[in-house]
Amino acid sequence: MRFSVYQVSRKGGREKNEDRMGYSYTRDSGLFALADGMGGHPEGEVASQLALQTMSALFQRDAKPTLADPLTFLNQAIMAGHQQLLRYSAQKALGDTPRTTIVACLLQGDSAYWAHCGDSRLYVVRGDKLVARTRDHSYSELQDALHSVVALRERLNRNVLFTCLGSPSKPVIDTAGPFTMQGGDRLMLCSDGLWGTVTDASITEQLALHAITESVPELVEQALRNGGPKCDNVSVMAVEWEASEVASGAAGVSTQALGEEVFASTIQASVLGHDATDDLDDAEIERSIKEINDAIRRSSAPKKS
């Protein structure tokens, strides 16, 4: 597998940067993820970091060197991150649970699979066309979708989400894939600090016309300029897909030399001095996933009269 990746995160006008992002990969599978800790709730930076750590730990455990079912993995890994946030809040006796959005993409073989919860987005650009974009879990996006069906007068705030990780209710997770990749396709994951002030058309144009090493910093600078002194955190990670097998002479990350048991990651292993993987041994992970699956089965079972 060969790909190029470039990422930038800027604090903007906020007191601290609560965005986190990173990628992990084996010889034949790659995970790319971005989380945006939510303001108005405690420890947003912990929420985003813990969600990524959980997903990366599960990826390391399950990708040997590929995942049997990428979409199931994404759904379960995001739910496991949600469960970890609830446990963290209970252990710390917090009055409110840290919360975060998340978007993640898996590249495996010639296919891409992705999932998201909240309003962190994924874009796919092929040539000069935007061929895919996630739809935010926000009331304003829902309003836009319904507008063609029924006219709605009041405009809703785009920042109001109806789901996220760490919420009291079970998160809504949308998944997509497999999407067949072609050489030169560009995937971009970003926080709302980018798309909130830069249009989809501008994002598509930049990704289409320039290398990701040029387009990503330019998009971030546009967002900071457009957002002004109170600009939100702006985080962007872009991936240019080259091939499932190595093409000699191409630039970027090559995983050909990795063995089946080798795992590499840019996602930090610890948060605030606490190693989240200490709480993620195999038995704990299995219990967490079983609890989630049992809860899903109970909620979907027909109620007895």
Q: Nearest Cα to 210, choosing from 122, 131, 125, 104?
A: 125
* Band of pLDDT at residue 250, cut at 50, 70 and 90: very low
**pLDDT tens for each residue of 80-134:** 999 999 999 999 999 999 999 999 999 999 999 999 999 999 999 999 999 999 9
3-state secondary structure 95-129: CCCCCEEEEEEEEECCEEEEEEECCCEEEEEECCE
* Band of pLDDT at residue 143, cut at 50, 70 and 90: low
* Band of pLDDT at residue 257, cut at 50, 70 and 90: confident
Say if strands 253-254 and 121-126 run parallel, antiparallel, or are unpaired: unpaired
Rounded Cα–Cα distance for residues 149 and 146 (Å): 5
Classify 161 in phi/psi space as left (phi over 0), alpha (psi -120 to 50) or beta.
beta
**pLDDT tens for each residue of 50-67:** 999 999 999 999 999 999
Rounded Cα–Cα distance for residues 97 and 84 (Å): 11
